[in-house]
Each structure stands twice: as structure tokens, then as C-alpha cells.
């Protein structure tokens, strides 16, 4: 079976770094991999660029980078969250007629870990595994407002309604926390309106958000309160389920 040599060596480097807290130098890596130091340097530059590796403090050695922790966190949260949320999302779709999804914070953005499409012929784009902006989506804003995650550094303009500044976004977050839900009113895509509520697992901060997205011709301003009530009840249902699971895990010997 053919392999990609540079990828194989990169994975070997990650495994070597995972076995030490002090970090590992280029010379040591070159000896262990039996390749020249210039090749190791190029591999390390690539791993650092993508945050899979980082320079150890006050040292020329390398340690695992922040991206490794993000991947582990996403896997730990995302998989069980998806499994537990799917029946509730199905119920949410049946009751609202719109796309339903659950998302977590990842890499400074909003990662959709579970998504069920609306049965309606006219529906919005969906799909699991999407990374979407936090500042102009209901599920993303919900994560920032209730999850304690950092405010985005950049505010890319997607429509004329997109929030464009940090100060404006901070005021908007205060409003979201006060009313207990988030809304995307054609801020990410013209003709699409979304609402979302936070999901907890027994802790003080939200671990995820749950929401629906639909065309504005169906998700009208007049209908939002009715849809929001359903979304909040389903998010609360998932929160209770995750809390029970967390308590069960804590009680295991």
C-alpha cells in the first residue's frame, strides 16, 4: 500500500511529541526519523503553521500545539452530543418544519455537529461538519453569549445586515443574554432567518447551541415567538439529557 511520506513523518513527529512534556528538538527528531535536519525543520514549520506544533517556552524544542487540544475536545464533545441530539432534532424538525441543528465552538468558529433537513421543498442549505461564522449566525452568537467563548477578532460582512464591529457585537450579546436566545435575521444569508437557544450539560456555561433555519417567507417575524418556544423546549430537553449523562459519569467508581 502506497503512503504519503511527508504525512507519515508528520504523524510520527506528533506521536513522538505526545510522549514528552519537555518537548523535542530538531536534532533528536532527525535521529529518530533517520532523516536530515533540514527535512525535519520544514516538517516542523508546516506543523507550527497549522498549530499542530508549537515552540516550547524559552526553548528551541517543540511541543504539541493548540490544534491537537481542539481536535480532542471536538471529538469528546461532538460525537456523544450528536448521538444524543438526533432524536430531539428530529422532533424539532417535525414540530417546526425547518432545518434543525446542533453546534459547538471550534477553531474560533461554529461547527455544526448534527443537522437534520426540513422535508419542505423550499429549504436552506444544511450539512454536518460545516464551519460557519459566530458573529452572524444564531447558533454561533448563542455559543459566544452563553458559552463563555471569546468574541471573534474579525467581523466579515456577509449581508448588509451583518454586525460589523466589536462594540456593536458586544451590545448585541448583552441583548441575547437578557432574552435567553439568539437570532440571525438575514445576517448570514439574505432570505434566511434562524433562531437558537443554548444547551448545557450541568455546568454554568453552554457546551452547545441548538437552532432552526428557514426561509424568511416561512420563518416570519410574527411566527418567531412560536418557533422559538419550541426551540427552547428542545434545547432544554437536550440539556437535561446531557446533565444526566454527566452525573452518571461522575458517580462511576
For residue 29, the domain's CATH number is: 1.10.10.10
Look at the chain and report how many structural domains it folds into: 2
Q: Judge if 58 and 92 occupy the same domain.
A: no
Q: Judge if 98 and 56 occupy the same domain.
A: no
Q: Judge if 160 and 39 occupy the same domain.
A: no
Q: Judge if 118 and 241 occupy the same domain.
A: yes
Q: Judge if 55 and 105 occupy the same domain.
A: no
Q: Is 14 helix (H, G, I), strand (E, B) or coil?
A: helix
Q: Judge if 134 and 228 occupy the same domain.
A: yes
Q: Judge if 49 and 120 occupy the same domain.
A: no
Listed residues 47, 64, 81: the one ending a domain? 64
Listed residues 44, 64, 84: the one ending a domain? 64
Listed residues 40, 64, 88: the one ending a domain? 64
Q: Judge if 48 and 75 occupy the same domain.
A: no
With vertex at residue 50, the alpha carbon angle to CA 142 and CA 75, rounded to the nearest 5 degrees, is 50
Q: Judge if 60 and 77 occupy the same domain.
A: no
**Per the structure block, which three cell numbers stand in for 47?**
506543523
Q: Judge if 149 and 245 occupy the same domain.
A: yes
For residue 233, the domain's CATH number is: 3.30.450.40
| 9, 35 Cβ separation under 8 angstroms | yes
Q: How far apart are CA 246 and CA 128, in angstroms?
A: 24
Domain, as residue range, for 34:
5-64
Select from 74, 232, 201 the least CA-distant residue to 138.
232
Q: What is the pLDDT along the chain (253 residues), one digit of tens a residue?
A: 456 888 888 889 888 887 776 788 999 999 998 899 899 899 989 999 888 888 887 788 888 887 776 665 555 455 678 888 999 999 999 999 999 999 999 878 898 989 999 999 888 877 787 889 999 999 999 999 999 899 998 899 999 999 999 999 999 999 999 999 999 999 999 999 999 999 998 889 999 999 999 999 999 999 999 999 999 999 999 999 988 876 665 455 5
| 117, 126 Cβ separation under 8 angstroms | yes
Q: Judge if 181 and 224 occupy the same domain.
A: yes
CA 144 to chain centre: 11
Amino acid at each position: 500500500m502506497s503512503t504519503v511520506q511527508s504525512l507519515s513523518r508528520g504523524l510520527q513527529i506528533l506521536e513522538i511529541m505526545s510522549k514528552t512534556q519537555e518537548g523535542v528538538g530538531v536534532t533528536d527528531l532527525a535521529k529518530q526519523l533517520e532523516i536530515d535536519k533540514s527535512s525535519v525543520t520544514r516538517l516542523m514549520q508546516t506543523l507550527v503553521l497549522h498549530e499542530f506544533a508549537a515552540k516550547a517556552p524559552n526553548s528551541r524544542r517543540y511541543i504539541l500545539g493548540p490544534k491537537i487540544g481542539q481536535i480532542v475536545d471536538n471529538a469528546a464533545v461532538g460525537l456523544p452530543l450528536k448521538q444524543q441530539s438526533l432524536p430531539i432534532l428530529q422532533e424539532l424538525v417535525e414540530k417546526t418544519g425547518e432545518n434543525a441543528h446542533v453546534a459547538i465552538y471550534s477553531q474560533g468558529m461554529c461547527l455544526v455537529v448534527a443537522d437534520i433537513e426540513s422535508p419542505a421543498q423550499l429549504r436552506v442549505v444544511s450539512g454536518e461538519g460545516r464551519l460557519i461564522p459566530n458573529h452572524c449566525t444564531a447558533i454561533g452568537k448563542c455559543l459566544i453569549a452563553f458559552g463563555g467563548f471569546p468574541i471573534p477578532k474579525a467581523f466579515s460582512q456577509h449581508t448588509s445586515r451583518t454586525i460589523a464591529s466589536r462594540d456593536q457585537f458586544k451590545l448585541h450579546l448583552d441583548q441575547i443574554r437578557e432574552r435567553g436566545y439568539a437570532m440571525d435575521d438575514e445576517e448570514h444569508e439574505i432570505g434566511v432567518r434562524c433562531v437558537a437557544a443554548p444547551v448545557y450539560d450541568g455546568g454554568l456555561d453552554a457546551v452547545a447551541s441548538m437552532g432552526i433555519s428557514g426561509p424568511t417567507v416561512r420563518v416570519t417575524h410574527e411566527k418567531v415567538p412560536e418557533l422559538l418556544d419550541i426551540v427552547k423546549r428542545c434545547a432544554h430537553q437536550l440539556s437535561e439529557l446531557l446533565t444526566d449523562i454527566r452525573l452518571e459519569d461522575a458517580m462511576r467508581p
